[in-house]
């Protein structure tokens, strides 16, 4: 008998929202949903620069979890929008601690997908005593090979038509380093050119974010009011390798968190975060529960991915109650 797939919990609204000053002129939007006395969990959104969407509250049983969500620096409702000043992985790690302390939480479950998985690992390895467990989806470690696959030499063979659209704003002589060429334009003074490049960049991100191109993801990632800010932050982190030195830092430090329970959910046909990265992490973390979804790509909204994420958070709720 085929197992019935789990789906998102019903829509909910936050029971509290606030803005927190975190230094460098940055002000973060923070919200809480679910049970104020429930199991603390922090949701780390993707991108970087992606911001929150209301559906992300729905990966957790609202009767059992105190769900904390926030827009990372420069993202979503956090201000200043699109700012690259004092905006690195390590600033974000510090921000998570500021939020935890402000909310009076001793330790929490950490949930992150795509870039959120990167940030979750960086945070947990820095503050393992503040983490009760991890749920990771579509693992991304920002290594050079991963960036080349997405932005230089790899996905062009799988999505050739969309690749042609992606590279079209970049002159032929600069296509030996497309990421750097985009970064120059997205952060340059010519705002018209920056916007044209932002549209092309975010369309590419949307196309590779699910097994079958999803119109809803395309509409969200290319929304007029966020496309330039999001693409600037994405390019900023990508061109700087996620600010990891060495690039294998997250793998090198995995022993700091091997005692923590972890579920890794990975789509077999994830285009932007291929399974080899999750495999590399699981090989060094054999205690982690790696769940490969055979008929899925990258998006957390693909049915098999959603099922495994909900199964994971329900499982942690039972363990942590």
Give the position of tokens 């968190």: 257
Which pTM value belongs to this model?
0.97
The arithmetic mean of pLDDT across residues 299-303, rounded, is 95
191 close to 166: Cβ distance less than 8 angstroms: no
List Cα–Cα distances, 197 to 15, 101, 168, 181, in angstroms. 38, 39, 9, 10
The arithmetic mean of pLDDT across residues 146-156, rounded, is 97
Instruction: Answer yes or no: is pLDDT of 225 > 90.
Output: no
Q: What pLDDT score does 102 carry?
A: 98
Catalytic residues: 114, 270, 298
169 close to 178: Cβ distance less than 8 angstroms: no
Could you tell me what percent of the chain has a pLDDT over 90? 93
| Lowest mean pLDDT, pick from 89-93, 191-195, 259-263, 280-284 | 191-195
109 close to 39: Cβ distance less than 8 angstroms: yes
Instruction: Answer yes or no: is pLDDT of 222 > 80.
Output: no
Q: Which two tokens stand for residue 162?
A: 């969309």
Instruction: Answer yes or no: is pLDDT of 300 > 60.
Output: yes
The DSSP symbol for 204 reads H
- The 3-class SS string of 121-185 reads HHHHHHCHHHEEEEEEECCCCCCHHHHHHHHCCCHHHCCHHHHHHHHCCCCHHHHHHHHHHHHHH
Q: What pLDDT score does 98 carry?
A: 98
The arithmetic mean of pLDDT across residues 169-192, rounded, is 97
Q: What pLDDT score does 109 carry?
A: 99
The arithmetic mean of pLDDT across residues 287-302, rounded, is 97
Residues 242, 135: Cα–Cα separation, whole Å:
20
Give the position of tokens 């939480």: 105
List Cα–Cα distances, 135 to 2, 9, 95, 108, 266, in angstroms. 25, 17, 19, 11, 11
| Lowest mean pLDDT, pick from 41-45, 148-152, 219-223 | 219-223
Residues 166, 159: Cα–Cα separation, whole Å:
10
List Cα–Cα distances, 36 to 97, 99, 101, 157, 318, in angstroms. 19, 15, 15, 48, 17
The arithmetic mean of pLDDT across residues 135-156, rounded, is 97
Q: What domains are there in the chain, each with its CATH number?
A: 16-143+243-320 (3.40.50.1820), 145-241 (no CATH)
The set of residues, in sequence order, having a beta carbon less than 8 Å from that of 24 and lying 6+ positions away, is 85, 86, 87, 91
Q: pLDDT class for 122, splitting at 50, 70, 90?
A: very high
Q: What are phi and psi of 266, to 5 degrees?
A: -135, 125
Q: pLDDT class for 3, splitting at 50, 70, 90?
A: confident
Residues 169, 147: Cα–Cα separation, whole Å:
19
The set of residues, in sequence order, having a beta carbon less than 8 Å from that of 258 and lying 6+ positions away, is 285, 287
Average pLDDT, the chain: 96
Q: Which two tokens stand for residue 98?
A: 């500021």
Could you tell me what percent of the chain has a pLDDT over 70? 97
The arithmetic mean of pLDDT across residues 106-131, rounded, is 98
Q: Give the closest residue to 265 by CA, choosing from 273, 255, 254.
A: 273
Q: What pLDDT score does 64 carry?
A: 98
150 close to 272: Cβ distance less than 8 angstroms: yes
Instruction: Answer yes or no: is pLDDT of 1 > 60.
Output: no
The set of residues, in sequence order, having a beta carbon less than 8 Å from that of 95 and lying 6+ positions away, is 22, 26, 28, 70, 72, 73
């Amino acid at each position: 008998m085929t197992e019935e797939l789990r789906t998102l919990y019903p829509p909910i609204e936050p029971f509290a929202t606030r803005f927190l000053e975190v230094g460098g002129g940055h002000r973060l939007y923070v919200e809480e949903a679910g049970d104020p006395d429930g199991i603390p969990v922090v949701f780390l959104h993707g991108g970087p620069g992606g911001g929150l969407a209301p559906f992300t509250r729905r990966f957790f049983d609202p009767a059992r979890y105190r769900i904390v969500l926030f827009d990372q620096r420069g993202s979503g409702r956090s201000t200043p929008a699109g700012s690259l000043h004092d905006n690195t992985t390590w600033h974000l790690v510090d921000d998570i601690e500021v939020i935890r302390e402000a909310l009076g939480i001793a330790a929490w479950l950490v949930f992150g997908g795509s870039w959120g998985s990167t940030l979750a690992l960086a945070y947990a390895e820095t503050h393992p005593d503040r983490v009760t467990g991890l749920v990771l989806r579509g693992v991304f470690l920002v290594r050079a090979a991963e960036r080349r696959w997405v932005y230089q030499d790899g996905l062009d063979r799988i999505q050739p038509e969309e690749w042609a659209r992606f590279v079209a704003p970049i002159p032929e002589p600069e296509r030996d380093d497309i990421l750097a060429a985009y970064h120059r334009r997205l952060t340059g003074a010519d705002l018209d050119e920056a916007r044209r490049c932002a549209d092309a960049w975010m369309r590419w991100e949307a196309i590779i974010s699910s097994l079958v191109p999803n119109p809803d993801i395309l509409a969200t990632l290319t929304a007029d009011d966020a496309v330039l800010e999001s693409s600037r932050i994405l390019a900023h982190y990508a061109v700087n390798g996620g600010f990891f030195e060495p690039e294998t830092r997250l793998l090198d430090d995995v022993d700091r968190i091997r005692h923590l329970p972890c579920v890794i959910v990975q789509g077999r046909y994830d285009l932007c975060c291929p399974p080899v990265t999750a495999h590399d992490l699981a090989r060094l973390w054999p205690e982690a529960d790696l769940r490969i979804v055979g008929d899925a790509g990258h998006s957390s909204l693909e049915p098999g991915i959603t099922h495994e994420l909900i199964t994971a958070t329900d499982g942690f709720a039972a363990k942590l109650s």
